[in-house]
Structure 1
Amino acid sequence: MTGALSGLLVADFSRVLAGPYATMLLADMGAEVVKVERPGAGDDTRAWGPPYAGGEATYFLGVNRNKRSIALDLRADVETARALAARADVLVENFRPGTMDRLGLGYDALRELNPGLVYCSITGFGSGEGAGLPGYDLIAQAVGGLMSVTGEPDGPGTKAGVALVDVITGLHAALGILAALRHRDESGAGQRVEVSLLSSLLSALTNHASAYAAAGVVPRAMGNRHPSIVPYEVFQAADRPIVIAAGNDRQFQALCAALERPDLAGDPRYAANASRVAARDTLVAELNAALATRTADDWFERLTAAGVPCGPINDLAAAFALAEDLGLEPAVRIDGVGQVANPVRLSATPPSYHRPPPALGQDDAWVREILAR
C-alpha cells in the first residue's frame, strides 16, 4: 500500500528525540527518511540504556523505525551531505544554531542547490538571543513554566514523566513540514520551518498560558487538581486511587446519583461548577468518603455506565492492555522489534511499518548509489 507521503525524500540530520520523532512520523506515512549519523557513535540515544532489546537501546528503537542510516562525517565529507540535501524534499536538523551554516549546510546555501527544499530547524530557544542556550527538554520544562504547574502546591517544581516538550516540538515540526510541503505543491517553492522547545511548550500549556496571556494570571502547581473544574482530580477508592473528571454539571449530577449521594447534587454549594471550585475541599472530602466503600475497578464499571468520565491509574502494562482490549492495536512488531504504533489512522493511506530501526551506517551503499544516479 502506498503511503500518503510516498515519493518524498527526507534528509534527517537530527538526533535524540524531537527531530527523530518528527521524521519517524513522516516515515510511517511513507516518506523515505535517510538518517545521517556520526561515524562510530551514531545518534546519542544509541547509548542511552538500559533498558535494551536485542542489544539495542530501547530509547533509540522508539523513534527511529522506517529509516535508513548513513554514517557521515560532516566535516570531512560535506559534499555527500550537500548532494543528499540537493535531492531531498525535506531536511530536518537540530544542531545548535549556526552549526549547519558553518558546515556549508545552512538554509541559504542549500536553497541555492534546491529551491524546493523544505528546511526544518529545531532549536531549544530560537536562533536569535536564545541561540546559545542548550536545547534540553529538562531545561525547557524548567524555564518554560511547565515545572511550575506540575507537582504538589508546597513541593518543588516537578518535571513530566517523559521528555514531553521534545515530543510536542516534534509534532509541531511535523505539522510545519506538512504545511510547507502543501505550499510547495502550489508554488513550487520550498521554505524554512523553525520550531523551538520554548515556543512549543508555551503553546502546549494551553489554558495555563491563556490565563496569563489573556488575564495576567500566573498559575501555580495544584497537584492532581484542576484550577477551573471540580471534581476533576484523583480520589481514593477502597483499594487504590481513581481519577474522576466530571467536566460539567450534568456529569456531576450523574456522579452523585451513582454514589447514592443525591443530596450533594442538590446542595447549593455544589450546584454549579464555579461554586464547586470555591467549595472544593469540603466536596472532595464528601466524595472520598463515598468512594471508599468500593474498589477502583468497581467504581470504574459503575461510573462509566452512568456516563461519568473516570478511570484507575494504570501502569504502562495495564495501559497497553486496555488499549488492546479496546481494539486500538497499540503495538506492532517489525522483524521481531516491538514498537509503539503510530496513533494516526487514515482510511486510505494508513501508516506502515516496513523497516526496523537501522544499524549505524547500514545503508551507506544504498544512499551513495542513489546519489550517484
Structure 2
Amino acid sequence: MPHMPASSALARFRVVDLTQVRAGPTACRQLADWGADVIQVQMPEHMRGDDTLGGQEGSDYQYTHRNKRSITLNLKEPEGISVLKRLIAGADVVVENFRPDVKFRLGIDYETLAVDNPGLVYASISGFGQTGPLATRPGFDQIAQGMGGLMSVTGMVEQGPMRVGIPIADLCAGIFAAQGILVALLERAASGKGQWLHTSLLESMVYMMDFQTSRWLIDGEVAAQAGNFHPTSIPTGVYKARDGYMNIAVFGSKIWERFCDILGAPQWVGDERYKDKRGRSINRDALNAEINRLLAAQDRDYWIERLNAGGVACGHINTMAEVFEEPQIQHLAMVKEVVSTHLGAQRLVGQPVQLERTPSSIVRAAPRRGEHTEEILAELGWGADDLARMKSTGVY
C-alpha cells in the first residue's frame, strides 16, 4: 500500500529512517505523525540483532513506529548500499543514530550523499556528540540522565540520585532532532540547500535542565535534591489528604494568601516564619508538616475542588490507568485508534499539539520488518525480475 499521510502538513516530504531503539525512531515518528513518508530501513530478518523495542509485536514498538513503512536492506552488501543511496537520492531527510564513524565507513555520510542530493537534510543522533573525547562511547538514556545532572536533582533528600521514570534523554533527543529537521527544511525553502544537523542524548539532557543550569552558571548555586517539593517555590509539592496524595502549587504572594485562607490558616500570612519566600524556604519542613495536618481533615477531592476554585493549582497524582479515566484527558481525545493488519485494533496516544487545519492522526499501525520492501523498491523503478534476484542474493 503506498504512502498514507497521517496529516497533510508534511505529506510532501520523504524521510529515510536509519535509526534503532528509541531516540531516532522518536524523531521519525514525530515526522510521520505529521504526514511525512517515513521509510524505516531495517536489517533483514536473518541478520537482525536486538534492534527493536520489546519485539516487533510489543506495545512499545507499536507506539514508536506507527505511521511508517518498512524496508529491509543488507548494508553489508555493496548492492544494499547502492539501493539505499538510490532511495536517499529522492528523499528530503535522512535520520541516523549509528556510532559516529559508521556512516563514513559505509559511505553514507552527509557530504557523500549531498553530492547527488544537495537539498538533503541529514540528522544524526548520538549519545555524546559527533566529535570530542566521548564521541565513540556507547550512549544510553540513564547514562545521559546522570551525566547531564538530572539524577542529582531527582529523588528524596539525602537518599542518593534517582532516575526519571521515562527515557527522557532519548525522548528529548528525538524531539529536538525532529525540531532541527523542521528548521532545516524551512531554511532550505529559502536557500535551496540542505545541511547536516546533529544532537545527542547528553546535549538534550543538559538543555532540559533549564533553570537549574542558570542557577549554577549565573548564580553559582549547585542544586540539590528536593524530593517531591519544588526547589524554589514553597509550598509546592506532594501533600497528603485524608484519602491519599495530591500535588499543590503555590506561586506568588497573592496565591499564598488565598491558600492560607482556604486551608483555614490565615495567621500564616503574618507568621514571621512563613510570611515571605525566604522564611518559607528556611522553614519548609515545619510548614509542610502543618499543611499535611490540616489537609488530613478532608479527602483529596474536597481540597482539589476548593483550592482550584480559589486559584490555587492542584491535582490528583494518577496511575497510568487513572490518567485515561480523567474527564479532561478524555475530552482532549488524546487516545487514537488504529487497526493493525497483524495484531488487530490498537489504542495509542496521539500528538500533544493540535493543528486545527492540518491535524495529525494515526492511519497506519507499526509495520512488520520489511513489510513494504518490494512496494518501495518498485516505486524506485525495480521490476519483478530485479526483485527476485535481489531477494535471492540477500540484498533484502
Give the drift of 1:56: 1.2
CA distance in 1, matches of 2:92, 2:173: 21
Aligned residue for 1:60? 61
CA distance in 2, matches of 1:223, 1:341: 31
Aligned residue for 2:226? 222
1:345/1:351 contact within 8 Å kept:
yes
- Percent of counterpart pairs with the same letter? 39
5 Å matches for 1:88-237?
A: 88-129=91-132, 130-237=134-241
In the alignment, is residue 24 of structure 1 matched against residue 29 of structure 2? yes
Please state whether the residue corresponding to 1:84 is helix, strand or coil: helix
CA distance in 2, matches of 1:180, 1:312: 40
CA distance in 1, matches of 2:300, 2:25: 38
Give the drift of 1:236: 1.2
- Range that drifts further, 354-363 or 209-218: 209-218
Please state whether the residue corresponding to 1:56 is helix, strand or coil: coil
Q: Which amino acid aligns with 1:60?
A: Y
Give the drift of 1:137: 0.3
Gaps of at least 5 residues in structure 2 are: 1-5, 340-344, 383-396
Aligned residues: 368
TM-score, scaled to structure 1: 0.95
Aligned residue for 1:334? 338
2:7/2:360 contact within 8 Å kept:
no
TM-score, scaled to structure 2: 0.89
1:45/1:60 contact within 8 Å kept:
no
- Range that drifts further, 275-284 or 151-160: 275-284
CA distance in 2, matches of 1:43, 1:229: 47
Aligned residue for 1:347? 356
Give the drift of 1:193: 0.8
Give the drift of 1:323: 5.6
What is the aligned counterpart of 2:245 among 241, 244, 265? Answer: 241
- Range that drifts further, 295-304 or 198-207: 295-304
Q: Which amino acid aligns with 1:369?
A: A
1:323/1:329 contact within 8 Å kept:
no
In the alignment, is residue 271 of structure 1 matched against residue 275 of structure 2? yes
CA distance in 2, matches of 1:178, 1:60: 24
Aligned residue for 2:389? none
Gaps of at least 5 residues in structure 1 are: 50-54
Please state whether the residue corresponding to 1:215 is helix, strand or coil: coil
Give the drift of 1:46: 3.5
Give the drift of 1:365: 1.1
After superposition, the Cα gap between the structure-2 partners of 1:60 and 1:42, relative to the gap in structure 1 and judged at 3 Å, is farther
CA distance in 2, matches of 1:325, 1:22: 24
CA distance in 2, matches of 1:45, 1:158: 27
Aligned residue for 1:72? 73
Q: CA RMSD in A?
A: 1.7
Aligned residue for 1:52? none
